[in-house]
C-alpha cells in the first residue's frame, strides 16, 4: 500500500478532530453503518464474477436476486434442449451413414458379374474365404 500524501494526512487529522465533537448517538450510528458496509463489501474482482454469473435481468429497483419464473425455467431447460438436439443430430447422421453403406453394398451386388443366385449358394462363402486367404 502506498504512503498517504500530505493532503490526505491533513484531511484525516481534520476528520479525527471533528469526530471528537460529535454526540455519542451519531458516532454509534456511524460505527454501525461502517460495520454493515464492511460486512457487505466484496473485492472488485469478486463483484465482477458475481455480476457475470447472475443471468437474471434486473428487476424493479435493480434487484437481481430473484429472477422471473419464465427465466429460471428457460435457463434450466436450455441444457436439456441442447442434449436432445445433439442426440437427434447424431441419430440422423447415423441413419444417413447406414443408408449410404447399404446403398453402396446394393450397388456392388447389382453391378457385379456374379449371378444373384451365387450369393445364396452355401459354397460361395467358402469360396470368398479361400480367395481372401490367397
Local structure of residue 65 (DSSP, 8 states): S
Tell me, what's the pLDDT at 90?
Answer: 95
Residue 64, classified by CB atoms within 10 Å of its CB into exposed (0-12), middle (13-18) or buried (19+), is middle
Global confidence as pTM: 0.36
Looking at the structure, tell me whether residues 87 and 134 fall in a common domain: yes
Rounded to whole angstroms, the Cα distance separating 22 from 114 reads 110
Asked, for residue 12, whether it belongs to a domain, the answer is: yes
Task: Give me the domain span that covers residue 91.
Answer: 77-134
Q: Is residue 81 part of a domain?
A: yes
Contact of 110 with 104, CB cutoff 8 Å = no
**72: in domain:** no
Residues 3 and 34 both lie in one domain = yes
One domain, residues 51 and 9 = yes
Q: What are the pLDDT digits (tens) for 29-87?
A: 888 888 888 777 766 666 666 665 555 455 455 555 577 888 889 898 999 999 999 99
Statement to judge: residues 85 and 133 lie in one domain: yes
Does the residue 66 lie in any domain? no
Are 5 and 48 members of one domain?
Answer: yes
In a domain, 18, yes or no: yes
Do 43 and 86 have their domain in common? no
Is residue 63 situated within a structural domain?
no
Amino acid at each position: 500500500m502506498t504512503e498517504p500524501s500530505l493532503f490526505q494526512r491533513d484531511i484525516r487529522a481534520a476528520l479525527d478532530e471533528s469526530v471528537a465533537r460529535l454526540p455519542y448517538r451519531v458516532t454509534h450510528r456511524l460505527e454501525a453503518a461502517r460495520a454493515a458496509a464492511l460486512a457487505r463489501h466484496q473485492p472488485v474482482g469478486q463483484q465482477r464474477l458475481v455480476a457475470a454469473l447472475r443471468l437474471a435481468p434486473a428487476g424493479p429497483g435493480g434487484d437481481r436476486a430473484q429472477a422471473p419464473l419464465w427465466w429460471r425455467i428457460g435457463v434450466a431447460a436450455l441444457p436439456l434442449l441442447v442434449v436432445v438436439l445433439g442426440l437427434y443430430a447424431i441419430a440422423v447422421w447415423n441413419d444417413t451413414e447406414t443408408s449410404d453403406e447399404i446403398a453402396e453394398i446394393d450397388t456392388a451386388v447389382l453391378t457385379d458379374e456374379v449371378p444373384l443366385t451365387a450369393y445364396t449358394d452355401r459354397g460361395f462363402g467358402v469360396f470368398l474365404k479361400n480367395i481372401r486367404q490367397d
